[in-house]
Structure 1
Amino acid sequence: MKPLNSEDSKRLFFKRVIRSKDGCPSQYEEVSAEILKKCGGLPLAIITIASLLACEQARIMQEWESIRNSLGTPFGTNPSLEGMRQIPNLSYKNLPLHLRTCLLYLAKYPEDSSIDRDDVVRQWIAEGFIRSSPGQDLEDVGKSYFNELINRGLIQPEQNNYGVVMGCRVHDMMLDLILSRCKEDNFISVAYSCEEYMLIAGQHGYNYNKVHRLSVQSMDSESDCTILMEGGIIPARLAHVRSVSLFGKHPRELPLLLPLFKYLRVLHITFYLLDQADLTAIRHLVQLRYLLFVSHCFKVELPSRICGLVHLETLEIVAYHAVSFPSDIVSLACLSHLRLPRGGLPNGIPKIKSLRTLEMFHPPDMDIKALAELTNLRKLSLFFDLEATMGTASNLNTLGSSIGKLQNLRYLEFTVPTVKFDDDGLLGSLSAFPCSIEILKLETWRFSRIPTWINADLCHLHLLELLVSETCTDEVGVVGELPSLIHLHLQVELKMKGTVVFGASGGSFPALESLILTCGGDVASQLGFQAGVMPKLQMLDVRFERCDSGIDTPPVGMEHLLSLQHIRVEINVELEDRKIYPRDTAEHVLREAAQAHPNKPAFNFYFFS
């Protein structure tokens, strides 16, 4: 990539430092010009230094001058590898100690990994890296650490389809720095095989206090565990490891390997290419606080008893099936996050009063009734087998009643194998919904209309996925009154009988930035946008399902969407109609409407059968 010219460099720099591309206060002009000169037009250098200066503690002249003085030869005129390494190194040196620790921890992940934010924050907590003041929540503080690393340009955000940051990746150059620092500070020992781990152990003179955290990133099932367990020296060393991450093939000797880690706090296992996994040995890890097992295996075996893991905070098993769950899991008083796959679940999960996250398949009937007792619950994801679990109206009413009592709930997701009519029996009949809710995903459960409890009282709701049989202008107007709603995916199953005009009956969607609207049939001409509606909308995604007659008129009033940057249109037809459907006419009509918009938004058109 060619270096940026002077004007583009300034624009990029000041947009990051002071959230403006127009310039900076006069007192910073000289020092900023010198900094930009040393960046040599290289975008990575400009963004990294700008991110560093954007922090609150860098808002004084001395900090700017210090950073300027720390930069050596201009990067653009001397783009050597060593010179480029100055960039992440400078950012690292200016980090507070607590953020350094959290950043170094990311060395445990293989190169180019997608790192889930919630998972890594929970590991930071289990390791004792997060400190909170009275009244602060540890997870919220941990997420603020994560966001600060993003804001400083040290990690690259990973976003979902709505643009919400759910995780991160580490740039190759930053990962090189992190690995180097981990080696210097003996923070994490990273090996790409257990043979390499043996070399690391030898470098430390087999002093068992030297290895605190171990990440083996390419385990081989045939040899690696055998190597670790041979002789008496390595097992003695493993006893003092606090964190273990294993990536690669499933070692058959895993049940023999796990008991060696007597003081283990964090166990993270990601395996592939196996039919079953034996995790019964975790019962020996009495200091364990965090366990994440990820695999596409079909059978996971857990110990018959787990009550000895009194410090366990997170238990996540991500797999297709589990053959057994310990019945005494309900006695784990510290358990905050529980994710369980398909399998025979023990009754009594709601007895775990400390739970904040619960993701489970096919909850037993008695647990549906007792969900209301989980008053600390923040995230609830339930995956239903409708015939087995939700077959009676009483169960529907019970679940609705339980949800209404979870007043700390922030995230709710229901997933069913086939679309289910609600008939106002599950959540449609609720008089009120937890006002704490922030994310609500109900796209596989079809309501007859938009439920009445979706209203302005849900003042924290920022993401809503909803499937309804039909709707009208008045109902979408009520959704438009949600003050914090940023992302909306509304699916209307049946073909509209009249028009739906957003903003015509009040409700301006004041915070909405992305709208996905899925409609039954070729109903573009029945959609409209009133002047003043959705003032912040950037992304409009309209999907027409089961189309048959064609589109010759675009939605009315798209020019009123003053912040619009991107329009995406998707048309789906039955296979037998593919050749006769007037695809070109539909694309021409919709593309012309996009080109007529004052912002000239990007336009993408897709046609499927």
Structure 2
Amino acid sequence: MEHVHRVDLMAAAVGWELLCKSMNINEEKDVENLRNIGLDIVRKCGGLPLAIKVAARVLATKDKTETEWRKFIDRRAWSVGNLPTELRGALYLSYEDLPHYLKQCFLYCALYPEDCFIYRDYLVMSWVAEGFIEEQQGKLLEDTAEEYYYELIHRNLLQPYDYSFDHAICKMHDLLRQLACYLSREECFIGDPESLGVINISKLRRFTAVTKTDAVLLSSMDKVEFKVRTFNTDQEPWSVEDTFFKRFPCIRVLNLSDSLVKCIPDYIGNLIHLRLIDLDGTDISSLPESIGYLMNLQILNLSRCKALHSLPLAITRLCNLRRLGLNGTPINQVPEGIGRLELLNDLEGFPVGGGDGNGKTKDGWKLEELEHLSQLRQLAMIKLERATSYSTDSLLTDKKHLKVLNLFCTERTDEPYSEEEVSNIEKVFEQLIPPQNLEKLVVGGFFGRRFPTWFGTTHLASVKHLILVDCNSCVHLPSIGQLPNLGYLRIEEAAAVTKIGAEFVGCRGANPRSTDVVVALL
């Protein structure tokens, strides 16, 4: 019996150390004053590391006094009786302590399969489309949603993936996922919808369909009209029948990514509540003009649609569009007037061109079309070798929300670039001066011989994440090692660089810069 008691004391002591570490309690006075009540909390958590960690994050919002901690340990949420045993106590209390706007964001994560990677940017898009994000003056909804995401990580309710810079990828602990699934069980479901039956599925508001490979989704319910607002799919490829879209008159979020969908019918224009449609990785070759009737549409993701070569004219009528994803899509015909979409803040895969076309569509957009998009937060431009010098250097500098900028030229393998082309690309890049709030910069396929002069501490002072890929003509690297906030740097395929000098790493004079930068030279 004495041995068991000694083991319990040791376990409690280890738990107390974990609690202190999770809360950054270092002051000897705080450690001593709170130790007894802290050990009681550890015992209340059953000594489980996850429970201790989430409890620590709740305590971190309270004053470090025995009175406040005693109130915490006496809360009714510890003893809620209608929960499964493994979800009681600290796990439920950590949910109950969330502000209302974070509760619905946390429960939404129940739609992800077990052990699934959760990508921050997609979660942010989904929360915005679902209407979960509270507006804050002077801030984009996406910035606020990103703060929600990091708050859930801070509270240990989401677990950042170790190898993702900036915690842009996370997972959900199995027990916390079970909690989210249990609390949202009346409205959310993940699994094979065919197993539910018509009566049960008609009550759902959100579900993730997990089906067998090559299955025809909902084929046994071809006459059922669903009230579902959110429809997601698992990663298995599946197909749908022609009547699929007619079954979701209330749909807001429709994720068909990586499915075997090849055609989007005109009927889609009737889904007037639709806010997000994700067609990433599908085989669609066109979009109907009826898409222009979707006045509530905020997110249109067409990334990796390998058969899609043009956009309909109606795209420019989507006045509430916030994201247009074209990355990895061979778009070559676009409608004039993208600049009219003033709420657009995420434009991925913007194909630059000279504007030649038939009057309605043209071969790529001119850089000038970006001028009126003042809300831009993320911008990825491709085919920059086709750009012409712009009339001013302030195209991007006034984009106060711009955080992510990708600049790509197309790789050429058949013949080298001419002197005129090299001179032009250097001029174009020189004019693409980013705003000082930029946090991530990716440059790919740049064939100029020198990097633009704005590659320095003045314009890139806020950059945390920098990637240079296939810049084989530049002999010298810019002084990016001196960037004050740089946390990740990757340089890949810089064949002409034979030497990295002191100007790059920032060791100048008597003040060498100490940094924790993660550097990858490939």
What pairs up with 1:258-297 in 2 under 5 angstroms? 258-272=245-259, 274=260, 276-278=262-264, 280-295=266-281, 297=282
2:300 counterpart residue number: 315
Q: Which residue of 1 aligns with 2:443?
A: 442
2:211 pairs with 1:212: no
Alpha-carbon shift at residue 442 of structure 1 (Å): 0.7
The CA deviation at 1:401 is 5.0
Aligned mates of 1:127, 1:263 — CA distance in 2: 12
C-alpha change, 1:95 and 1:432, in structure 2 (3 Å) is: closer
Answer yes or no: is the 8 Å Cα contact 2:489–2:519 preserved in 1: no
**Counterpart secondary structure, 1:373:** coil
Question: Would you say the 8 A contact 1:305–1:327 is kept in 2?
Answer: no
User: Cα 1:261–1:375, aligned 2, differ >3 Å: closer, same or farther?
Assistant: same
Amino acid at match of 2:514: P
In structure 1, what is the equivalent of residue 333 of structure 2?
345
Closer, same or farther: CA 214–500 of 1 in aligned 2, 3 Å? same
Partner SS state of residue 259, structure 1:
helix
Match of 2:39 among 33, 58, 78: 33
Using the TM superposition, give the Cα deviation of residue 490 of structure 1 relative to its aligned residue in structure 2, in angstroms.
4.3
**Offset at residue 267 of structure 1 (A):** 1.1
User: What is the correspondence of 1:491-570 to structure 2 with a 5 Å cutoff?
Assistant: 492-496=494-498, 499-500=501-502, 502-505=505-508, 533-537=512-516, 539-543=518-522
SS of the residue corresponding to residue 218 of structure 1 reads coil
1:219 Cα deviation from its structure 2 partner: 6.0
| Offset, 1:57 | 4.2
Q: CA deviation at 1:412?
A: 0.8
- CA deviation profile, 1:144-181 (whole Å, cap 9, x unmatched): 111111111111123665x2121321111111111111
1:398-547 matches, within 5 Å, as 398=390, 403-404=395-396, 406-408=398-400, 409-418=402-411, 423=423, 425-430=426-431, 432-458=433-459, 459-466=461-468, 467=471, 469-471=474-476, 475-476=478-479, 479-490=480-491, 492-496=494-498, 499-500=501-502, 502-505=505-508, 533-537=512-516, 539-543=518-522
Offset of 1:541 from its aligned partner? 4.3
| Cα distance change on mapping 1:171 and 1:504 into 2, 3 Å | closer
Give the structure 1 partner of residue 130 of structure 2: 127
* Other structure's SS at 1:45 match: helix
Q: For the residues of structure 2 that align with 1:372 and 1:480, how far apart are their CA atoms?
A: 31
Stretch moving more, 451-460 or 496-505: 496-505
1:583 matched to which residue of 2? none
CA gap of 1:505–1:406, structure 2 versus 1, over 3 A, is same
* SS of alignment partner, residue 445 of structure 1: coil
Question: Aligned residue for 2:146?
Answer: 143
- Counterpart CA distance in 2 for 1:112 and 1:21 is 37
What letter corresponds to residue 70 of structure 2 in structure 1?
E
Q: 1:175 and 1:256 mapped to 2: Cα distance?
A: 33
Residues of 2 paired with 1:23 and 1:444: CA distance? 57
Aligned match of 1:110: 113
Which deviations, in whole Å up to 9, do the C-alpha atoms of 1:432-485 show, x marking residues without a partner?
Answer: 43223221111432443343212332232222223472227xx52xx3553333
Aligned Cα RMSD in Å?
3.4
Q: State whether residues 428 and 452 of structure 1, in contact with CA within 8 Å, keep that contact through their aligned partners in structure 2.
A: no
Structure 1 distance, partners of 2:231, 2:432, is: 48
Q: Secondary structure at the match of 1:101?
A: helix
Percent identity reads: 24
Distance 1:537 1:331 in 2: 47
Distance 1:103-1:495 versus aligned 2 partners, 3 A rule: closer
Which letter does structure 2 place at the counterpart of 1:496? T
Shift, 1:102, TM fit:
0.9
Letter in structure 2 aligned against 1:271: D
The 8 Å contact of residues 385 and 410 in structure 2, kept in 1 or not, is answered as no
- Say whether the 8 Å CA contact 2:489–2:517 is kept in structure 1: no
Matches within 5 A, 1:142-291: 142-158=145-161, 161=164, 163-183=165-185, 186-188=186-188, 190-198=189-197, 201-203=198-200, 210-218=203-211, 222-230=215-223, 234-235=224-225, 238=226, 240-247=227-234, 248-253=236-241, 255-272=242-259, 274=260, 276-278=262-264, 280-291=266-277
- State yes or no: 1:306 paired with 2:291: yes
* Equivalent position SS for 1:276: coil
Call closer, same or farther: CA 1:345–1:112 in 2, change over 3 Å: farther
Return closer, same or farther for 1:181/1:96 CA change in 2, 3 Å cut-off.
Answer: same
Structure 2 CA distance, aligned partners of 1:441 and 1:400?
22
User: CA 1:481–1:500 in 2, change beyond 3 Å: closer, same or farther?
Assistant: closer
TM-score (norm 1): 0.70
Once the two structures are TM-superposed, the CA of residue 300 in structure 1 deviates from its matched residue by 4.1
Deviations along 1:57-88, one digit per CA (max 9) or x if unpaired, are 46554442244346999xxxxxxx93465442
Structure 1 residues 522-579: Cα deviation after superposition (integer angstroms, max 9, x where no partner) = xxxxxxxxx7534241645455xxxxxxxxxxxxxxxxxxxxxxxxxxxxxxxxxxxx
Q: What is the Cα deviation at residue 216 of structure 1? A: 1.8
The whole-number CA distance in structure 1 between the counterparts of 2:99 and 2:348 is 35
Give 2:38's aligned amino acid.
Answer: S
Residues 40/21 of structure 1: CA separation in 2 closer, same or farther (3 Å cut): farther
Aligned residues of 2:239 and 2:261 also touching (Cα < 8 A)? no
C-alpha displacement at 1:314, in angstroms? 0.8
- Name the structure 2 match of 1:594: none
Residue of structure 2 aligned with 1:397, choices 368, 389, 392: 389
Of 57-66 and 278-287, more deviation after overlay is shown by 57-66
Call closer, same or farther: CA 1:216–1:111 in 2, change over 3 Å: same
The question of whether the paired residues in 1 share the 8 Å contact of 2:257 and 2:279 is answered with: yes
By how many angstroms is 1:310 displaced? 0.6
- Equivalent residues of 1:399, 1:426 under 8 A apart: no
Partner of 1:93: 96
**CA offsets 1:16-67 (integer angstroms, 9 cap, x no match):** 112649784543222112223444543223222222222x246554442244
- 2:155 is aligned with what amino acid? R
Which TM-score applies when normalising by structure 2?
A: 0.81
The answer on whether the counterparts of 2:252 and 2:275 sit within 8 Å (CA) in structure 1 is: yes
1:182-205 Cα offsets, whole Å, 9 max, x none, are 11xx232x142232231xx4358x
Higher-RCO chain (CA-CA 8 Å, sequence separation at least 6):
2
Tell me, yes or no, if the aligned pair for 1:299 and 1:323 is still in contact at 8 Å. no
AA aligned to 1:482 is L
Structure-2 residue corresponding to 1:510: none
Cross-structure match for 1:517: none
**Aligned residues of 2:380 and 2:406 also touching (Cα < 8 A):** yes
The amino acid of 1:347's aligned partner reads P
Whole-angstrom distance in 1 between the partners of 2:32 and 2:132? 40
Distance across 2 between alignment mates of 1:541 and 1:246: 35
How many angstroms apart in 1 are the aligned matches of 2:38 and 2:373? 53
Q: 1:257 to 1:44 in 2, by over 3 A?
A: same
Q: What do residues 304-342 of structure 1 show as CA deviations (whole Å, max 9, x unaligned)?
A: 332210111111123223155221111111111101222
Distance of 2:309 and 2:293 partners within structure 1: 21
Counterpart residue number, 2:53:
47
Moved more, 416-425 or 116-125: 416-425
Distance 2:466 2:57 in 1: 32
Cα gap change, 1:20 to 1:298, in 2 (>3 Å)? farther
The answer to whether the 8 A contact 1:359-1:382 is kept is yes
Q: Does the C-alpha gap of structure 1 residues 325 and 450 become closer, same or farther in structure 2, counting only changes over 3 Å?
A: closer
Q: How far apart, CA to CA, are the structure 2 residues paired with 1:378 and 1:321?
A: 28
